[in-house]
Amino acid sequence: MKYKSHKIAMNFFTFAVLLFLVQVIIGLVAAVQFIKPDFFFFAFNISRTLHINALVVWLLCGLMGATYYVVPEESGRELWSIPLAQFQFWATVVTVLVVVVGYIIMGLFPQANITVFGTLLLNEGREYIEAPRWADIMIAVSAILFLINNAMTMFKSKKITGIMGTLLGGMLFLTLMYLPGMFYTSSMVKDQYWWWWVVHLWVEGAWEVIAGALLAFMLMKLTNAPRQMLEKWMYIEVALVLFTGMLGIGHHYYWIGTPNYWLWVGGIFSSLEPIPLLVMVWDALRVTKDTRSTTNKLGLFLATAHAIFNFLGAGLWGVIHTLPSVNKWTHGTQITTAHGHLAFYGAYVLLIIAMVYITVPEMRGVKEYRMSRGYRSFWWQTVSMIMIVFIITGAGMVQTYMERLLGLDYVTVKNNFNTWFWIWRAVFGVTYIIGVCMFVYDFFKIGKEPVTATLSESKA
Ligand code: HEM
Ligand code: HEM
Ligand SMILES: [Fe+2]
């Protein structure tokens, strides 16, 4: 390990990867509960909460791990304070575990979610960020310690690269956007209004800025492309993400009681959102084709796959239902769920997996590593995810037609007409989990096995 600080990056990756496995196993529980609601020892509401909160938390931990790798490497020095980073890591782990136990307790004994100092003890509601207020505060403190440590490292080194500055800018934006989710208003409309600041401005704002910076970093490490050129395109991508994504928030303000102009603002700006994502694909493909120079073929393959699936999941599966004239029919159906899965998978799951395969071999001090399991895991995950997304898109089309056009009620459609979609989703949920198991196993093995398979591949 070149920098001792990279130990922190490894810690965050390890926690993230384990939580990833938990997330998808609970996703499968939720999928089976669509067919058999009393299947597990807690009900669907808890499995859904755990599935999506675990997703958000492990992705955040993955992004923190990536930052703790990039900042020492870009600034050419150790972190400002390694003990502070260690403390921040363990504080995060403990908070997350206590929150998870709290969700499960609430599932078994709903009355345990009592009010303490005017806030709920175990679960505050609001999809994706249900953590109670005390945990919100812990998370915000953890994020601030994280930012201070990385920013101090950057300033001490007096070497502020574009990639590092953009990455930390994205992280600052991410932290600030957590705050609107930390207070309540008595109006449901206003409450939803602020909640979307967190959810939308994260995934279509701050996180995409971070993805832009990390894409530039990964391409820089794996190709001969000059830094200046990569950073130039990164700035263009990030500027376009912010220009289209910030007002693109309007696509969540169509039907919640906000003024009518959001129909236009949301429709126009969110329709433009795929453009920066397409530029990223072009950037990755062009750079990979012209200047590839790496032995880490899997890393480059995953970085490119991330760019492509970011465009397909967020851009394409987003834009198909983003116009008000379409969204008034599809809003809140399984079409939304299909998009949610492919977008998160392409934009962020693959981003973290790519960063793992690019940085972990270096942290373990090896130049070459065995790649076959990594490729296999990618294909199991990707084919299963594509199948789940097609199946759920189909379920969503049936749902939209029967509920919104024929006027049947939600449960009738869910129980009588969509059963086969639920069964096939669960089947491909199992194959997806097989892919994740391969990845988790490989994570602990990268660089520790003989590389014969890789060498014969590169000679071929
Ligand atoms: C990586 C980026 C993105 C991620 C991770 C993502 C994820 C999600 C998720 C999880 C939801 C469901 C929210 C809920 O529970 O209600 C959602 C809703 C939505 N997304 Fe995205 N999204 C991304 C980008 C985009 C883009 C670029 C567009 C448009 C071009 C878009 C359009 C929409 C729309 C219109 C909805 C609302 C659907 C409804 O009315 O039910 N998304 N997104
Ligand atoms: C990396 C993999 C995965 C990601 C990124 C992911 C992401 C998500 C997201 C964002 C939602 C909320 C969607 C919405 O509100 O519309 C969700 C819900 C759900 N996920 Fe996953 N998920 C993954 C894997 C799985 C797997 C393997 C299964 C099992 C088949 C699964 C089953 C479910 C179910 C049943 C729901 C609830 C859907 C609903 O409320 O209609 N997920 N997931
Ligand atoms: Fe959005």
**Percent of the chain residues topping a pLDDT of 70:** 98
pTM of whole model > 0.85? Answer: yes
On the question of pLDDT at 314 being above 60, the answer is: yes
> What pLDDT, in 10s, does the model give residues 357-372?
999 999 999 999 999 9
Taking the centre of ligand 2 as the mean of its atom positions, its distance from the CA of residue 341, in whole angstroms, is 6
**Three-point CA angle 310, 60, 147, nearest 5°:** 120
Ligand 3 centre to CA of 252 (Å) is 6
Which residues have CB under 6 Å of ligand 1?
A: 127, 203-204, 251-252, 270, 273-274, 314-315, 318-319, 321-322, 327, 331-332, 336, 339-340, 343-344, 347
pLDDT for the residue numbered 453: 53
- Ligand 1 mutation target, pool 177, 240, 251, most atoms within 8 A of CB: 251
Q: Tell me, in angstroms, the distance from the centre of ligand 2 to residue 18's CA.
A: 17
Write the pLDDT tens digit of every residue in 267-276.
999 999 999 9
- Does ligand 2 lie within 6 Å of residue 424's CB atom? no
Mean pLDDT of the residues in the chain: 95
Ligand 1 closest atom vs CA 244? 27
Which atom of ligand 2 is closest in space to residue 48's alpha carbon?
Answer: 37
Tell me the best of 196, 204, 253 to mutate to test the pocket of ligand 1, counting ligand atoms within 8 Å of each CB and taking the most: 204
What pLDDT shows up at residue 451? 86
Which ligand 2 atom is at minimum distance from the Cα of 20?
A: 1
User: Residue 102 above 70 pLDDT?
Assistant: yes
Which ligand 2 atom lies nearest to the CA of residue 388? 30
Mean pLDDT of 369-396: 98
Residue nearest to atom 24 of ligand 2 (CA): 24
Q: Which residue has a Cα nearest atom 8 of ligand 1?
A: 340
Inter-residue contact 17 to 356 (CB < 8 Å): yes
Q: How far is the CA of 357 from the centre of ligand 1 (A)?
A: 28
23 CA from centroid of ligand 2 (Å): 9
C-beta 337 within 6 A of ligand 2: yes
Q: Whose CA is nearest to atom 19 of ligand 2?
A: 27
Q: 115-152, pLDDT tens digit by residue?
A: 998 899 999 989 999 999 999 999 999 999 999 999 99
Shortest-distance ligand to the CA of residue 31: 2
Closest residue by CA, ligand 1 atom 17: 340
> Best substitution site from 337, 342, 399 to test ligand 2's pocket, by max atoms within 8 Å of Cβ?
337
Gap from CA of 331 to ligand 3 centroid (Å)? 12
Note the pLDDT tens digit of each residue in 179-238: 999 988 889 999 999 999 999 999 999 999 999 999 999 999 999 999 999 999 999 999
Question: Which residue ranges make up each domain of the chain?
Answer: 1-160
